[in-house]
A = this chain, B = another copy of it.
Amino acid sequence: MYRTNTCGELRLADAGKKVTLAGWVQRVRKMGGMTFVDVRDRYGITQVVFNNDTDASLCEAANHLGREYVVQITGTVAERSSKNPNIPTGDIEIIAENLNILNKSEVPPFTIEDDTDGGDDLRMKFRYLDLRRNCVRKNLELRHKMTMEVRRYLDGKGFLEIETPMLVGSTPEGARDFVVPSRMNQGQFYALPQSPQTLKQLLMVSGMDRYFQIVKCFRDEDLRADRQPEFTQIDCEMSYVEQDDIINLFEGMAKHLFKELRGVELTEPFPRMPWADAMKYYGSDKPDTRFGMKFVELMDIMKGHGFGVFDNAEYIGGICAEGAAHYTRKQLDQLTEYVKRPQIGAKGMVYARVEADGNVKSSVDKFYSQEVLQQMKAAFNAKPGDLILILSGDDAMKTRKQLSELRLEMGRQLGLRDKNKFSCLWVVDFPMFEWSDEEQRLMAMHHPFTHPKDEDIPLLDTDPAAVRADAYDMVINGVEVGGGSIRIHDSQLQAKMFEILGFTPERAQEQFGFLMNAFKYGAPPHGGLAYGLDRWVSLFAGLDSIRDCIAFPKNNSGRDVMLDAPAPLDQKQLDELALSIDIPEKN
């Protein structure tokens, strides 16, 4: 037996016991005639003492231990003279009687400490050492606990976890698929699922009633910040439900998770915000509601006073940052630069301070009388000491998105986005379609299987762009942690949907025939939701990147730098797949 105890469990009550520990050498210190070795494992750190007077050769061996050596130590638990209140084992130490080096270690390329000296690239290449750090390991422990709790909750509600295949068919709708060439069917390809959407709907057709799966999904997209080519979904579907049934059940699950994983009791129902309001007041379909600063529209007040920028604008709107009138000219210039960055794209920013006497002092004073500025102040309900920031533009949607970025940045600067505060809501009543300039057609905003609101079904023929869907997203702190919809279960309505999306009946049949055929054999009303596991864990762990809650993540080029994957194939493998590589020459 390699050990009697872990490095995290011995306490004062164990004093006098003979124990064997195994773990990694965190630190070796010589003091007087003693050598202190901190031995670490997943469970904690225990101090081991070697006494030069008692056993000089054993102590000498301890002096030669290097960082990250793997050791097995036998000794007796003793009370420490100088206790360490910062660690649970800090009251005791082990008086060493035997030392066995199980494995040596070269000097690691970075320090195995929370505050490491290793850069991102180095840590990813040696991820197995990076994972030894407490702060990284804790994220994986949290992830484990979260999936256990999700399963416990859903099992308790009668859900069955059912595995759907990873080798499925490719569907051009949606994001780009990863594909897998078939050797037994040369020239043909499987695809890795972007989500088990259609399969879980088939499980509802098959009467499974309540399904879930914690499942890997794949999207071959150009990796923006914080996207991974493979990610994990908590995928759920229920039969014989309406939107409220789903929202209630999964709100319950969210509350359960907050309680079990963060000790936070959320008692109030989550607010439900129509998508149109989210866009109007926050310029985003995933508003961060930890703070206010709701948009105020100013077209009525600010237009027609001779300020050309506003007079020609389609949209004028602003936010009021409470108590931020102290912002200096330099800070305001930096904010202006912020919104003018290409990623945001605003043309400029107007600001106005409410002074102690109630007067408004703005950057456009020469165009506006104090009377008009007071009307504006009233629209924001602003007080002395507040700062008003205004954007305008000729595309209302684009300008709102710019104003949303400004709002988030102000929230950040004013410390209103506390990672330990949680603000949850449902965004509901999404539009069914959105116009794609690129494809010059309507696209499904969620996906083609989403059920339109019953009262909007007549609009499918007359004004499809105005149709709202039975779709909902759960948003926490400005992060979309999950979303779903009631699905279409009628094969004719589904066919109509494909028609509006520009599919010929033949193409709809070719790509989704299996689903539309299934709907002919008694499909029940159904709907569901998928949570993003990586995002949830990041949220609970307070991480800036989902990468930190994934054991072996990929970098922004989709590479695993530790495994050095992807890599070229042997010619033999290519031949078996009847594939040849034909990389076009760059001009």
Residues of A within 8 A of B (CB): 1-3, 6, 22, 24, 40-43, 68-70, 102-106, 108, 126-132, 137, 140-141, 143-144, 147-148, 151, 155, 160-170, 172, 176-192, 199, 202-203, 205-209, 216, 218, 220, 222-223, 229-230, 232, 240-242, 245, 489-490, 514, 518-525, 550-552, 554, 557-560, 562-570, 573, 576-584
Contact = CB atoms under 8 A, between A and B. Distances in A.
Given A180-B192, A558-B184, A102 B525 contact: yes
A37 to B, nearest CB: 14
Q: What secondary structure prevails in chain A residues at the interface with B?
A: loop
A144 B514 CA distance: 25
A216 B163 contact: yes
Given A102-B525, A168-B560, A169-B565, A22 B218 contact: no
Contacts of A163: 143, 216, 232, 550-551
A189 B24 contact: no
A579 B581 contact: yes
B165 A230 contact: yes
Given A24-B207, A128-B206, A525 B2 contact: yes
A207 B41 contact: yes
Given A524-B102, A578-B583, A160 B140 contact: yes
Nearest to A513: B564
B1 A242 contact: yes
A563 B209 contact: no
A128 B205 contact: yes
A568 B128 CA distance: 39
A179 B180 contact: yes
Given A2-B525, A167-B178, 7 more contacts: A24-B524, A41-B209, A103-B522, A105-B521, A167-B218, A188-B567, A199-B551
A108 to B, nearest CB: 6
A248 to B, nearest CB: 11
Contacts of A132: 206-207
B179 A573 contact: yes
A132 to B, nearest CB: 5
A565 B103 contact: no
A554 B189 CA distance: 14
Given A160-B141, A209-B43, A582-B578, A554 B131 contact: no
A199 B563 CA distance: 9
A301 to B, nearest CB: 47
Contacts of A569: 170, 179, 189
A137 B1 contact: no
Contact of A514 (B564, B582, B583): B564
Given A184-B222, A563-B169, A578 B581 contact: yes
A555 B151 CA distance: 30
A225 to B, nearest CB: 15
The 7 residue pairs across chains A and B that have the minimum distance between CB atoms: A105-B522, A131-B206, A169-B565, A188-B566, A2-B240, A68-B522, A182-B566
A208 B42 contact: yes
A169 B567 contact: yes
A162 B551 contact: yes
A566 B189 contact: yes
A141 B580 CA distance: 44
11 contacts: A69-B522, A129-B521, A131-B208, A132-B206, A143-B163, A165-B552, A167-B566, A176-B573, A187-B581, A191-B565, A216-B216
B103 A218 contact: no
B245 A1 contact: yes
A562 B205 CA distance: 14
Nearest to A523: B103
B242 A42 contact: no
Specify which of A143, A179, A191, A565 lies most central, judged by the most chain B CB atoms within 10 Å of its CB: A565
Nearest to A551: B162
Nearest to A25: B522
Contacts of A562: 202, 514
B551 A179 contact: no
Contact of A241 (B2, B180, B186): B2
A188 B568 contact: yes
Contacts of A140: 160, 162, 208
Nearest to A222: B184
A560 B172 CA distance: 18
Specify which of A178, A216, A230 lies most central, judged by the most chain B CB atoms within 10 Å of its CB: A178
Contacts of A577: 179
A229 B582 contact: no
B183 A180 contact: no
A168 B565 contact: yes
Nearest to A20: B240
Nearest to A207: B132
Contacts of A161: 144, 147-148
A51 to B, nearest CB: 25
